[in-house]
Amino acid sequence: DGGITQSPKYLFRKEGQNVTLSCEQNLNHDAMYWYRQDPGQGLRLIYYSQIVNDFQKGDIAEGYSVSREKKESFPLTVTSAQKNPTAFYLCASSIRGGTNTGELFFGEGSRLTVL
Amino acid sequence: AQSVTQPDIHITVSEGASLELRCNYSYGATPYLFWYVQSPGQGLQLLLKYFSGDTLVQGIKGFEAEFKRSQSSFNLRKPSVHWSDAAEYFCAVGVTGGGNKLTFGTGTQLKVEL
């Protein structure tokens, strides 16, 4: 079945450590996204990529980094510079388009807890 | 920039009762509008979407939503709620030329009483 796979589902990190969240999709979608979800704040866009080897900052990119070396993969690194990294992270993908004609397909999320 | 407001943080309804979840958006032109549902600890699933045309949109699981330009609203409705509808619901807006980046509301948590 086609879909988006995020791993790990749960992750614990000590302060000062970098951690990388994996996101893989087999939907043949061009565009991929990372959102952060906090209680009562909805989803906020961290980074997005419309095509391989290209990505843009979203609304809350500080303390995060991404890469897009392959169409199916869009890993997110939460660096030690992120002051409040404990959150639920959601990866999504969509068919690329010049106008917004597509929906987002979401993975099941990764919950990061900083100890 | 566009924005989305979901004024109700929590809503409780009895099973079998009707449901309406409110969503208001702010954007200068016609937006693209979405409703997503999220079960605890899971990703989001699309319920329905509005791009153009008929302002009453039908979705999955018996949900529908109506786009009202004059009120800048896109409220989600269901005539009879089932216990399995208990979840968090998110309204989202996309804009022309914005790719597929969406701006989400803060969500409405739905509780269903048996």
CB contact under 8 A, B106 and A40: yes
Sheet strands (E) in chain A: 4-7, 10-13, 19-25, 31-38, 42-51, 54-57, 64-66, 76-78, 87-94, 105-106, 110-114
Nearest CA to B90 out of B23, B29, B1 is that of: B23
Chain A positions in Cβ-Cβ contact with residue B107 (cut-off 8 Å):
40, 42
pLDDT range class, residue B54, cuts 50, 70, 90? confident
pLDDT digits (tens, 9 = 90+) for B83-103: 999 999 999 998 766 666 789
Mean pLDDT of chain B: 92
Per-residue pLDDT of chain A (115 residues; tens, 9 = 90+): 679 999 999 999 998 899 999 999 999 999 999 999 998 888 999 999 988 999 999 999 999 999 999 999 999 999 998 889 999 999 999 887 545 556 889 999 999 999 8
Q: What is the mean pLDDT of residues B35-46?
A: 93
Nearest-by-Cβ selection for B106 from A41, A92, A100: A41
Residues 12-51 of A with CB under 8 A from B: 31, 33, 35, 40-45, 48, 50
Single-letter amino acid code for the residue at B64: E
A-to-B residue pairs, Cβ atoms closer than 8 angstroms = 72
